[in-house]
Amino acid sequence: MKKVLLSLLSAGVLASSCANQAAENPLLVEWNTRYGIPPFEQVQPEHYLPAFKAAMAAEIAEIDAIVNNTEEPTFENTIEAYANTGELLSNVSAVFSSANGVKSSPELQAIAKELSPLQSAHYSSISLNEKLFQRIKAVYEKRNEMGLNPQQLRAVEEIYKGFERGGANLPAEKKEELKQISAEISALQLQFSQNALLETAAYTLVVENEADLAGLTADQIAEAAARAKKAGQEGKWFFGLDNPSVMPFLANAENRELRKQILTAYLNRCNNNNENDNKEVIKKLVELRLKRAQIMGAETAAAYILEDRMAKTPEAVYELLDQIWKPALKAAKAEAKDMQKIIAKEGSNITLEAWDWRYYAQKAMKEKFNLSEEEMAPYFQIDNVREGVFHVANKLFGLTFKKLEGVPLPHEEAEAFEVYDNDGTVTGIVFFDMFARPGQKRAGAWCGGFRGQSYKNGERVLPLVTICGNFTRPVGDKPALLTTDEVATYFHEFGHGLASLLKDVKYQGMGGYPRDFVELPSQLNEHWAFEPEVLKVYAKHYQTGEVIPQELVEKMEKAGKYGQGFATVEYLAASYLDMDFHVLKEIPADLDVEKFEAKVLGDRGILSQIPSRYRSTYFSHTFSGGYTAGYYSYIWAEVLDADAYDAFCETGDIFNQEVANKYRKEILEVAGEKDAMDLYINFRGKQPGIDPLLKNRGLK
């Protein structure tokens, strides 16, 4: 793995001082660990910057070797050679990104800030390298005369398109401007994410009066007491803004004033006019993104970004969102009426507010379906849920899993598993790190990797996949018991994991799935989570081992679509917000982020009791990058996943092997080898329609 650097060193490509670094730096030597897993425990903060610099130098040397090749450009000496550059840098980046995401510290955050301009300059120097582009262009222009197979042809076209979209065809002065803009965007996105991390960790709701805990479960109270004890405040109860703490509090705490306090703090993260405020960061980001798009010849940032997505245009995104908005709003209003009736029955002289929604939604669920999270939680012990995830993968694809002991772990709380394919060979390694660590671990849940699938010397290189969550921790002697949302999230992220583990692409550089297709595998995998026959396999009472009762399964089925009005409206609100920022054709000098947000949502008639799932100042999906003008992707992919699940249901067997094999062969294994819609049609035999989505959400 690290032989790239060592061979360059021995050839004298890099300075001799780097040889000493390589000998001492665990990131720059061969990883002689099982499966080439990074030696996480050996890596110290001081290793990162030297490793990044050496790895960047190694990649530039690889690029120079391509550029200085005097032979005529071919697929092998240009396209394939380029696609295989930067392996060392990818590996170093993966280890650092993981560390900064799961065990962040002021030291790592400072390193990230120092790295940001270096990385931006490095990638710009490659994407805007004129000589490299000319070699790639030469192959592109003759691609139809070279006898390339379909995968090679796709690699040529995607790599060329990537350079073109990166500004390779721009005049020199515009390239320089693009470099500067890219560097500024990179720095601002990093600042945004660091501010969000710090602001989330900075707030604590301290409860000193035990009476104020009324309504909370014994587990929630014990967890809050443990947090206070850890902070040296034994005898008190601490609640934070991380989801495992704040969401149960909002759903269960009887003290309305405290619910209001913690939700207000949650919604105002990075909007407190302090050093972590993100309003000016947002303003600068939307200005720079628009500038970059206009340099590239697009009218808006969204138009530029969506050009190579499935949606293609902002108009197509809005068309989908608008189709769902009206029925979702109607359902949300009906839910609000249900809750207001409960308030009236209780004799409370209050009007439903945002801090009341989750609290009364629980009561409405109990009244309508005689069902509560507290009743379900004992059947969702975290290890059992993981076994449910594994069971589905086994039934669909024949995968089996074996815990891997004695290997380096990205965090002491992580676990590793070998993944065996249906022929008994190992297809990859997956790590799980599922518990929240406020202030250290970034919010949400995600699937990443330490090494992607590739081919070397004709052999498949195994992917190293990592799945992270922010789930409820064990309390005392009781294991971690998950909410239904956390169960769905576990299945969701493992769906991403399956896409990485089963990928089998020979040539790199084909871009993988576009952003609005990438959620198909994850969201499709969620469909099995609460199927009765799957629940009976993994949903077992953590104390008695009793399989979840049929009566409870039936209640879950009946209640499954209730609350989708709220869930859909809050999601769509964030999607509209993301799009509206990025379809601006000019940015007002006096852009007020709060007023803009209020208008975006107010003009569409959002209920005052439903805030956007992400308010602008902590909307990391769009302002930290990744889902810029792309948060709609989840609902776009849901059109696909609802239709795809119907392919199984239509056979009368949710584990139909013919459908599962076709899904694996036509979508999971081939990733970016074909256009996304072609992948889908090859699997399904037709384009998807919106009706299965509306039915799935109970909105039809």
Interacting residues of 214 by C-beta distance below 8 A, sequence separation 6+: 253, 254, 255
Catalytic residue among 158, 335, 418, 493: 493
Separation between Cα atoms, residue 343 and residue 370, nearest integer Å: 17
User: Would you state the structure tokens that stand for residue 625, as one six-digit string?
Assistant: 């990058």
Indicate left, alpha or beta for 437 from its phi (over 0: left) and psi (-120 to 50: alpha).
beta
Residue 119: what residue type?
Q
Q: In Å, what is the CA distance from 692 to each residue of 453, 491, 643, 696?
A: 33, 20, 6, 6
Buried b (16+ CB within 10 A) or exposed e, 259-280: beebbebbbebbbeeeebbbbe
In degrees, to the nearest 5, what angle opens at C-alpha 597 toward C-alphas 595 and 598?
65
Q: In Å, what is the CA distance from 599 to each residue of 326, 571, 579, 604, 606?
A: 18, 17, 13, 8, 10
8 Å CB contact between 282 and 588: no
**558 phi, psi to nearest 5 deg:** -65, -35
Instruction: Tell me which DSSP letter residue 478 carries.
Output: B
User: Containing H/E element for 460?
Assistant: strand 459-461
8 Å CB contact between 170 and 177: no
Separation between Cα atoms, residue 678 and residue 659, nearest integer Å: 17
Active site residue 493: yes
686 CB neighbour count, 10 Å cutoff: 10
Instruction: Tell me which DSSP letter residue 542 carries.
Output: T
Question: Which residues are the active-site residues?
Answer: 493
